[in-house]
Structure 1
Amino acid sequence: MRYIISRPWFWTGLIAIIAYIDIRALSGGYVYDDAGSVIKNVVVNGMVDWKEVFNRDYWGTEMNQIQSHKSFRPITTLTLKANYVVAKYIQKYQQSDNSEEEEQQEQTKQDLPPTWTFRVINVLLHGIVTGLITKSTSYILPSSSLSSGSHSTGSPVMELIIGSLFALHPVHAEVVSNITSRGEMLMSIFFLLSFLSYAGTRQACYKQQQIYNRQSKLIQSLSTNSSSILVPWWKRLLGIYIFPWICMTLSIFSKEQGATALISLVIWDFLKYHGNLVSLQRKLFISSSNTNTKTNKSIISTKNDDDDDDDTKTTVAAAAHDDATATTAKIERDEARQFVWRTIVLAVETLIVVGWRYVLNGESSPDFIVAQNPAGFAEERFTRAFSVTWIYCLYIRDAIYPYYLSPDWSGNSIDLITNWNDPRVMAVLALWYFAAQSLWSMVVGADTGGNPEIITNNSSIGSKGNTKSSPKDNINWYWNETTLRQINMSIWAFSFSPFLLSSNILVVVGLMKADRVIYLPLFGFCILEALLISKLLQGATTMRPAFERRKEQLFWGAHFLLMFQLIIYSGRTHARNLAWSDSLQLWESAYLVNPRSYHTMYNYGYELSLKQRYVEAEAVMRPNRQCDKANVLLDEAFRVIEEKRKEGGPRNSESHLSRSESNLLVAKAHCTEDYQEKGRVLYRAVEKDQTNDYAVNLATSFMEKMQQMEELQRGD
């Protein structure tokens, strides 16, 4: 049991791996964007030299081309390239053992490497991320946050809770089960490694400082130097500045969100050891001159007063106390100044890497589609501000209640907030108010009545050994400065900071909402839930004495509810894992959650047609049969295509326009009642793009139906 408790990171990582081990899911097909990131990526499939990874974006397009997505992720692409080579080798080895009949059956799939080789790596990466998440928890929460009477659960149990919540959360299925989203996990690994390096070194410095602070003799010898020099300078240089910087660089080249890694370190450092700006300012500008003056006067008065030995001893003790206070103040001032210096250095390091990354984009901007993010591209400021914030509310909903999960939220999937009469405005204002209160507490702190450096789980015990505590002491135990700091860490260092580049605040991104972007930010939500469980247990037994006799039941009841939540999460994760293994299942589940998206509607109908379920496909593709309105829009779309064809340029390539025109012709065929005209339209759709499987299958099915009708007529 001790072995299990002492290594929670191993067990939570194992839980994360087991949650996604399913033969059907691992051996599923390529779904969603996998064709673009793996199969058709010229770097991954070997059509160009692997060194081209440093000149092309994540989809294989040259970075200097105007149609480039500008998603430069060479670390992720290289892992996919290595994975592809291994997969092809395994495929070749398996085919050599198959019979000739089996080889003929697999003839159509011989160019596609087995997907399980990619998905196994993704599952292992998720296990590593979960283990690092669990390990990181020990630097955020105290060592005994969850205790109930005789059950001192301590930090290991808190780590197990947070790690298990992260491992089993259904939102992560889009990242783990989707090959294309591997960058999220690689980014998270380097992000967390930078934090562990920084936090471990920083905590070692702080612990040694506290040890020497308690030894008054050594304090005098260190009064002219910072106590952080007790840790060798090369360890501080490596653990605080160099290694986190390297990890941040690897993180940003795995996925762009890694650019905020060092920002999270600064926020954690600030909240962990300073708490608020007022406290930091007091430490920076505190003056020890008044204390030294008082100390000197006390010593002088001691020498002139030889009649009262008791008064002399009291004065000498006071002088020693004042001297120690002045020394402590100097140490705090040096510590605060070192924090400012660390912040400046980490900021410069971040700007260097971000600037380098920006230069790699070239002169053109990313080729985003406005319809994929109407909230971020909204022209009116009110609509943009409130609609984007409403998306944050939806992310919070998914973190708490992960039911409405879909790979696509483009177009009119989410209504924009355009006026004050929208009831969703209240939720947006509530979120703004909560964020403002949290930020304000980081400026001035909060009147919690407790000192974060001395508050412990026994802080309700009164002075002089009195075990009776007042209601005010109980409240301070339940809600103190330490708790406030942990909440702010969860929100700003581990939720908002990793989410910043996906928030549409600094830059407008190419998506309105996607489950994958809250993969790492969900760490903060897991911390908040663990804190809530901890405080509910503490508050129930402390603020209500009647619960003191039932703390055993409360303890096990709370953990039973947690286990029930994890079981529900496991079932939902299993379902999402299976959905991401098959395109039809994926778009069917997306259509059930979000039927308003035209992109979802098209993909679901397309997948149904591939399975020759044409009646269902037609019902999905035109649910209301609004052909009059559709024909007007189709005519306008055809005119736009002709204008783009005349304009030319790299964005308007003939292959891209032909596919778009072929899809429009298919849509036109759906709204054509004349069978002869419908056949001519489908023929033109296939003629425009013979690689459009949807058009080819639909035209083939239509021809078969026409032949059957002719045979029936002849028979009559």
Structure 2
Amino acid sequence: MLRPRRRSPSTDQKTAESAKEGSKWYATIALAAVICYLPSIDGDFVFDDKEAIVRNPIVQRFDISRLLQTDFWGREIRSSDSHKSYRPITTLTFMVNQNLSSKATYFHLVNIVLHALVSLLVCKTTRQICQHFQSSPRIADYTAFLFAIHPIHAEAVANVVGRAELLMTLFGLLGLSLYLQNDSKIVFPSLCVIFSMFSKEQGVFFLLSFVAFDVLKSRYSKQRPLGSLLTKINIYYLILFALLCGTRFWINGFQCPQFSKLDNPAAFHENFYVRVVNYFYIYILNFWLLIFPKNFSFDYSMGCIPLITDLGDARILSFGAYLLFAIVFTILHRKLQDSTKLLMYYGLIFIVLLFLPATNIIPVGFVIAERVLYAPSIGYCLFISLVFYHLEKQSSSSNVSPIWLLIAPLMVSRCITRSLEWRTEKELFLADLSVCPKNAKIYYNLAKVQADDGDVSLAVENYRSALQLRPDYEQALNNMANIYQRQGENSIAIDLLQKSINANNRFATAWMNLGVNQMAMGQFNESRKSFRSALEIRPHYADAYFNLGNLYLKQGLQYQAESCWKNATLIEPSHHRAWTNLLVLMDEQGRYQLVTSLAEQALRKVTQKTASIRFQLAVCQAKLGFYSDAERNLVKVVEDNPSSALYKTNLGILYEKWNKLEKAADVYRDVRKTDPGNAFAVERLRKLQMK
């Protein structure tokens, strides 16, 4: 009888030691990933976070019904003003986060955990690849550790909207891992890539990494020539890739996003050769950020990287980097074993495939975006780890190469400092000014923060700095006009807004703000034309309808005003100012019953700033004699706004009508404590004391 061959004790011991070492590496990688970005956990919602989360009605209202119809920023995906970024899975995680807690801390916590999980998956998948090519698992450990601590990931991890990159990479690597386990099973790897693509568009390119691996594996096992792709599995993945790309274009309505010259100057240059030269220069800068991750910026547009327009530009010399890379590649090709060579090839292919969407094959809305290097950096980390491993073997050292003792602390330190910079917008913008001092957008964003903080003089100064660098910067002109409008300087505001419109006559916000200032100056006909221009450019513009309604009310056109405010609430159901104006108008018309039903409807849709709506509901409930309901709503309003004398005095009036005079007196006394000079409360209290 044949018996199974027993494994030797030494083999079992080696397996156990290998598993133990692997567990240590997994723990080290996860811990390093968390330590690097933990400083960002108490950060605010910064930059794009506000648009994608704080001001996104889909996220704020947990509107599942519209999740699949809108882009990443909450706009209709097929509308002309949509960014065409379709990431429903990422948006869904924001919705869940928001529903559990609206604090930014919990959003940052999820990002940090996701980065740790991705780092572990990098280790797992790279180990699987090493196993297929019979290479050392230590290469995978180095790759994942370098990935976990690389500072280039700060934007993807510390900026909440970077979750799109994290989820895309997580699902993509999970699909790759399942594919590596059993390449004949296609369902779950395919589903993972679909999830990856709907986390961020770039994820669909993971399918091509499956095909690339199959080709390299076949080359390694000598089953097929390197150029052979025509296997059933590869054909399936290539067809799926084409179908998913087609699906994405269909979702967009076969429209591409509209970017401006300010977003990506190279893409808009009329000379083809200038475009190509600048694209290849930008690729070098991206690679340099991976090699030397020191100087970062949240934005590299608007003069940060001037265009190369002639061969006399000294930056042309940087193209020697391509030659240097070719030399390093050739040396490694000669020095490395066949199995390790294939790992190097795969790392380079991975970089190219995952970076391909950012190469301006289809123009993108940025010059450099650090976040888009999150997934491609896996290939870079694999390439560098191969170099380290080769050097380690050459030195006959069984320990981790001493070079890690130099690199790791520097990278962790840079991760921590960059995470701290991402905590607040002001810290971020001030830090990035030193990197891109000619970038008008940084001055513009810094001015916005200063204006919100009440530092009006500093805000104007930085808007002017932005305009010195870019005189036709329409957003800066518009925002500076808003400051002058708030100061009552409407004529100056109008002049700035007309300059903004001259720079971009499709800028709907500038048209609307021009209408607001013209209305304040009594130029009603011009104001109406401006609002109409805004609505022609952006038909679903709630604020424009709201302000047009205000104009009609000033002209005594109540029916038209009501229609405009209704349109505003239909377009943006959380538009509390439109709801309030609509309810006040109906109250003045004596339509109390309609006010109560509409106000209750509004409160189901408006999640923030509900006081004015609830107050108007209470007023009409009191007029209808529903004193208990009115009391409940007014008490709620007063609790939410304890310093408001208006709400408190109206509660006192309600108690007087209800003949609860002692309660009314208590309310008026409370008003006197917080507002001793309130003549109305003093007079009402005096009359009550006389009764």
TM value normalised by structure 1: 0.62
**What is the percent sequence identity of the aligned residues?**
27
Determine if contact 2:29/2:145 at 8 Å carries over to the other structure: yes
Which structure is richer in relative contact order (CA contacts within 8 A, separation 6 or more)?
1
- Aligned partner of 1:451 in structure 2 is none
**What is the rounded CA distance, in whole Å, between the counterparts of 1:383 and 1:270 in structure 2?**
36
Once residues 437 and 560 of structure 1 are traced to their aligned partners in structure 2, the CA distance between those partners, rounded to angstroms, is 21
Distance 2:32 2:470 in 1: 54
- Provide the secondary structure at the position in 1 that maps to 2:57: coil
| Higher mean C-alpha displacement, 165-174 vs 3-12 | 3-12
Alignment of 1:102-181 (within 5 A): 113-141=102-130, 154-155=136-137, 157-181=138-162
Q: Which residue of 1 aligns with 2:315?
A: 424
2:175 maps to amino acid = S
State how 1:306-455 maps to structure 2 within 5 Å.
340-428=231-319, 430-431=321-322
Which deviations, in whole Å up to 9, do the C-alpha atoms of 1:55-111 show, x marking residues without a partner? Answer: 111111111211111111111111111111001xxxxxxxxxxxxxxxxxxxxxxxx
- The Cα of 1:274 is off from its aligned counterpart by 1.1
Q: Deviations over 1:580-635 (max 9, x none)?
A: 11111011111111111101011123334555666765664445996997899967
What is the Cα deviation at residue 14 of structure 1?
3.0
**5 Å matches for 1:456-495?**
478-492=335-349, 494-495=350-351
* Residues 637-646 or 479-488, more deviating: 637-646
3-state DSSP class of the match of 2:355? Answer: helix
Answer yes or no: is the 8 Å Cα contact 2:472–2:503 preserved in 1.
Answer: no
Distance 2:80 2:445 in 1: 27
1:572 aligned counterpart, secondary structure: helix
In structure 1, the partner of 2:92 is 78
d(CA) in 1 for partners of 2:142 and 2:112?
A: 20
2 CA distance for matches of 1:627 and 1:509?
23
| Cα pair 2:440 2:467 within 8 Å, conserved | no
What is the deviation of 1:31?
Answer: 0.7
> Which residue number corresponds to residue 703 of structure 1?
none
Structure 1 distance, partners of 2:470, 2:176, is 58
**What residue in structure 2 maps to residue 101 of structure 1?**
none
> How far did 1:355 drift?
1.1
Distance, in Å, in 2 between the alignment partners of 1:437 and 1:592 is 33
2:625 corresponds to: none
Change (3 A) 1:524 1:363: closer
* Counterpart amino acid of residue 597 in structure 1: N
Q: Against the structure 1 CA distance between its residues 283 and 258, is the aligned structure 2 distance closer, same or farther, given a 3 Å change threshold?
A: closer
Cα deviation 1:130-159 (Å, max 9, x = unaligned): 00001111133369999xxxxxxx41x333
Letter in 1 for 2:144: G
Is 1:259–2:276 an aligned residue pair?
A: no
Q: Distance in 2 between matches of 1:628 and 1:351?
A: 41
Which segments of 5 or more consecutive residues in structure 1 lack a partner in the other structure?
88-112, 147-153, 203-235, 285-335, 449-475, 542-550, 659-716
SS in structure 1 of the partner of residue 71 of structure 2? coil
Q: Which moved more, 1:53-62 or 1:606-615?
A: 606-615
List aligned pairs for 1:50-65, cutoff 5 A.
Answer: 50-65=64-79
User: Quick check: 1:175–1:519 contact (8 Å CA) kept in 2?
Assistant: yes
One-letter identity of the residue aligned with 1:573: C
AA aligned to 1:134 is: C
CA distance in 1, matches of 2:69, 2:466: 47
AA aligned to 1:355 is G
Equivalent position of 1:513 in the other structure: 368
- The structure-2 alpha-carbon separation of the partners of 1:631 and 1:62, relative to structure 1 and needing over 3 Å to count, comes to closer
Do the aligned partners of 2:218 and 2:224 also contact (CA within 8 Å) in 1? no
Matched, 1:586 2:424: no
Name the SS of the counterpart of 1:132 in structure 2: helix
Displacement of 1:173: 1.1
Contact 2:43/2:105 (CA < 8 Å) preserved in 1? yes
SS of equivalent to 1:271 = helix
Partner of 2:413 in structure 1? 571
Residue type of the alignment partner of 2:116: G
1:536, distance to aligned residue in structure 2 (A): 1.9
**Contact 1:145/1:534, CA 8 A, preserved across alignment:** no
Partners of 1:638 and 1:5 lie apart in 2 by: 64
Equivalent position amino acid for 1:504 in 2: N
Q: Displacement of 1:386 after TM fit?
A: 1.1
Please report how far the alpha carbon of residue 570 of structure 1 lies from its aligned counterpart in structure 2 after TM superposition: 1.0
Residue 173 of structure 1 aligns to a residue whose secondary structure is helix
Q: Which residue of 2 aligns with 1:460?
A: none
Q: 2:357 aligns with which of 498, 501, 508?
A: 501
1:637 aligns with 2:500: yes
Instruction: State the shift of 1:411 in Å.
Output: 1.6
With over 3 angstroms needed to count, the CA separation of the structure-2 counterparts of 1:141 and 1:421, relative to structure 1, is farther
Question: 1:282 and 1:566, CA in 2 relative to 1: closer, same or farther beyond 3 A?
Answer: closer
Report the equivalent of 1:6.
22
1:49 maps onto 2:63 in alignment: yes
CA offsets per residue over residues 324-380 of structure 1, 9 Å max, x none?
Answer: xxxxxxxxxxxx68x633221111111112111110101543132331111223221
Alignment-derived partner of residue 681 in structure 2: none
1:605 and 1:618 in contact (8 A); partners too: yes
Question: What is the aligned partner in structure 1 of residue 37 from structure 2?
Answer: 20
Q: Which amino acid aligns with 2:153?
A: H
Equivalence for 1:547: none
Once residues 67 and 467 of structure 2 are traced to their aligned partners in structure 1, the CA distance between those partners, rounded to angstroms, is 47
Contact 1:145-1:158 at 8 Å conserved across structures: no
Distance 1:578 1:191 in 2: 29
CA distance in 1, matches of 2:302, 2:226: 51
Residue in structure 1 matched with residue 45 of structure 2 by the alignment: 30
How many residues matched?
A: 484
Q: Which amino acid aligns with 2:442?
A: T
8 Å contact kept, 2:358–2:364: yes
* C-alpha distance 656-530 of structure 1, shift in aligned 2 (>3 A): farther
The answer to whether the 8 Å contact 2:133/2:217 transfers is no
User: Aligned partners of 2:326 and 2:249: how far apart in 1?
Assistant: 30
1:644-697 per-position Cα deviation (integer Å, ceiling 9, x unaligned)? 656555545778999xxxxxxxxxxxxxxxxxxxxxxxxxxxxxxxxxxxxxxx
In the aligned structure 2, how far is the partner of 1:126 from the partner of 1:70?
26
Q: CA deviation at 1:27?
A: 2.3
Residue equivalent to 2:381: 526
CA offset at residue 487 of structure 1?
A: 1.8
Q: CA deviation at 1:168?
A: 1.0
SS at match of 1:509: coil
Tell me the amino acid that sits aligned with residue 264 of structure 1: S
- Alpha-carbon distance in 1 for matches of 2:257, 2:249: 11
Give the structure 2 partner of residue 332 of structure 1: none
Q: Report the CA distance between 1:447 and its aligned residue.
A: 12
For the pair 1:195 / 2:172, whether they are aligned, the reply is no
What is the CA RMSD across the aligned residues, in angstroms? Answer: 3.5
CA displacement at 1:260 relative to structure 2: 0.5
Q: Deviations over 1:518-546 (max 9, x none)?
A: 0011111111111111222334x4xxxxx
CA contact (8 A) 1:9 1:159 kept: no
Question: Cα deviation per residue 1:450-493 (whole Å; 9 max; x = unaligned)?
Answer: xxxxxxxxxxxxxxxxxxxxxxxxxx6x334333322221111x
